[in-house]
């Protein structure tokens, strides 16, 4: 039930900050872990990891062999400690085994025993890199790593061992080195030889382990709080950024529309002033007098008047069209396009193709109703223009992204570890 709730919340959170998947997985492990500290081993294969765990537990639980032996995670809970045996890490065997080791080390463990066999000499680059990552993690999460030098009985003499130990210590000065021999420990335990037992280094390692185990509850609280706070902070930052971005887009949208409306109002005002002399007629309107058949090819007063009106109207159209072009309103939206390309313009869609007379121009440009309709119709096509539609889509996506961060922030508390009693 709790796990289900956690996973639902985690889905909402990770939808926004997918790179936090390892942290969320660790929070999940922390939340559902038992009270016992989890101790795991890390290191190359055959360096004596499984056998070391057996000695520390005092029980032959994990399989030991003189070859690559452990290939999956094995766990054993004994005396309030959860021991996790993991496969060896090896650069040449990428994939599943290393995946198990990764899970043990990064997801499950409170304490890591980094194992290196003395006979191998100094740490190689891969081991050093790993130890560096573990130390950085220790700084951040307070999960501790103990560096264990195993199989020290295989060294020719103490001087030899000291040289290797010193060389390794110089490579990793920040982590104390724990030299141990599982073989000696076993011999000491079986033969009741106290000195051999002491010399095995296992009791000293056990003491060191106990003291870091005591700090596990605090370390877990620290880590859980840290991961939670980091994710929280990141979501808050994203939320603020996205809210600002959305606001900027929306005010851009509003500003563009205001510019368009204001610019069109100015153009229409200018057009009206420009039309005044043409529209003012004293007496009868010659433009309305039709040409008779005999006047068909003569320049009549009617023809002249109609030409004047037509020119004035064209000027008006040119002025309006310039405004439209300036604001990216050119062609019609695809759904409205016809088979006649030349008619697929916003000007034609709004103004029509009919011949205009003085009354038409008065109605269109000089009466509030006509001007209101023009403003409304052109604004309609402005909103359907490519850039405006793209901006609207952008705003939609931005609002959806913001809503996602809101959802993630609302879900986040479910990822918080209950305060240990
Ligand atoms: N001489 C000596 N041999 C040891 C010691 N510890 C382990 N070995 C031997 O080293 C070999 C490997 O030991 P394991 O514990 O299986 O090594 P591992 O690191 O778990 O190996 P993988 O599971 O394959 O990664 C076995 O033959 C062990 O008996 C030790 O302290 N001294
Ligand atoms: Mg093993």
Q: Which residues line ligand 1 (CB under 6 A)?
A: 45-51, 64-66, 68-70, 87-88, 150-151, 153-154, 181-183
pLDDT for the residue 420: 43
Domains and CATH numbers, the chain: 33-214 (3.40.50.300), 236-409 (no CATH)
Question: Which DSSP state fits 92?
Answer: T
Q: Which protein residue has the closest C-alpha to ligand 1 atom 11?
A: 66
pLDDT in tens, 120-145: 999 999 899 999 999 999 999 999 99
Task: Give distance in angstroms: CA of 203 to centre of ligand 2.
Answer: 21
Q: Average model confidence (pLDDT) for the chain?
A: 91
Point out the ligand 1 atom lying closest to the alpha carbon of residue 87: 25
Q: Which residues of 302-323 are buried (b: 16+ CB within 10 A; e: fewer)?
A: bbebbeebeebbeebbeebbeb
Given a contact cutoff of 8 angstroms between Cβ atoms, the answer to whether 127 and 162 are in contact is no
Q: Is the pLDDT of residue 224 over 90?
A: yes
pLDDT in tens, 352-392: 989 999 999 999 999 999 999 999 999 999 999 999 999 99
Please give the sequence-ordered ranges of beta strands (E in DSSP) within 165-286, or none if there are none.
177-179
State pTM to two decimals.
Answer: 0.81
Task: Give distance in angstroms: CA of 54 to centre of ligand 1.
Answer: 11
């Amino acid at each position: 039930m709790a796990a289900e709730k956690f996973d639902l919340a985690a889905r909402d959170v990770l939808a926004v900050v997918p790179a936090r998947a390892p942290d969320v997985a660790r929070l999940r492990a922390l939340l559902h872990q038992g009270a016992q500290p989890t101790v795991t081993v890390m290191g190359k294969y055959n360096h004596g990891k499984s056998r070391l765990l057996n000695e520390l537990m005092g029980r032959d639980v994990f399989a030991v062999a003189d070859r690559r032996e452990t290939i999956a995670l094995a766990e054993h809970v004994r005396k309030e400690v959860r021991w996790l045996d993991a496969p060896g890490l090896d650069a040449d065997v990428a994939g599943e085994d290393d995946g198990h080791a990764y899970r043990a080390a990064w997801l499950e463990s409170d304490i890591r025993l980094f194992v290196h066999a003395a006979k191998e000499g100094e740490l190689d680059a891969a081991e050093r890199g790993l130890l560096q990552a573990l130390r950085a993690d220790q700084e951040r999460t307070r999960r501790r790593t103990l560096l264990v030098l195993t199989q020290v009985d295989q060294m020719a003499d103490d001087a030899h061992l000291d040289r290797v130990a010193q060389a390794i210590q110089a490579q990793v000065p920040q982590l104390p080195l724990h030299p141990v021999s599982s073989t000696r420990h076993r011999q000491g335990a079986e033969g009741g030889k106290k000195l051999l037992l002491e010399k095995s280094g296992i009791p000293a390692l056990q003491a060191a382990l106990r003291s870091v185990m005591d700090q596990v509850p605090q370390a877990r609280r620290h880590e859980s709080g840290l991961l939670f706070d980091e994710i929280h902070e990141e979501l808050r930052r994203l939320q603020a950024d996205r809210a600002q971005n959305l606001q900027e887009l929306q005010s851009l949208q509003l500003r563009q529309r205001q510019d368009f409306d204001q610019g069109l109002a100015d153009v229409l005002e200018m057009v009206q002033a420009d039309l005044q002399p043409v529209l003012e007629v004293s007496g009868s309107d010659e433009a309305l007098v039709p040409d008779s058949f005999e006047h068909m090819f003569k320049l009549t007063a009617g023809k002249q008047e109609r030409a004047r009106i037509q020119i004035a109207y064209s000027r008006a159209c040119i002025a309006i069209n310039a405004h439209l072009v300036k604001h990216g309103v050119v062609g019609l939206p695809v759904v409205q396009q016809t088979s006649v390309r030349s008619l697929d313009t916003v000007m034609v869609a709004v103004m029509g193709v009919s011949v205009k007379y003085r009354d038409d121009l008065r109605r269109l440009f000089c009466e509030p109703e006509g001007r209101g309709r023009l403003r409304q119709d052109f604004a309609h096509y402005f909103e359907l223009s490519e850039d405006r539609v793209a901006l609207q889509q952008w705003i939609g996506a931005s609002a959806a992204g913001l809503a996602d961060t809101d959802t993630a922030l609302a879900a986040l508390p479910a990822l918080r570890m209950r305060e240990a009693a």
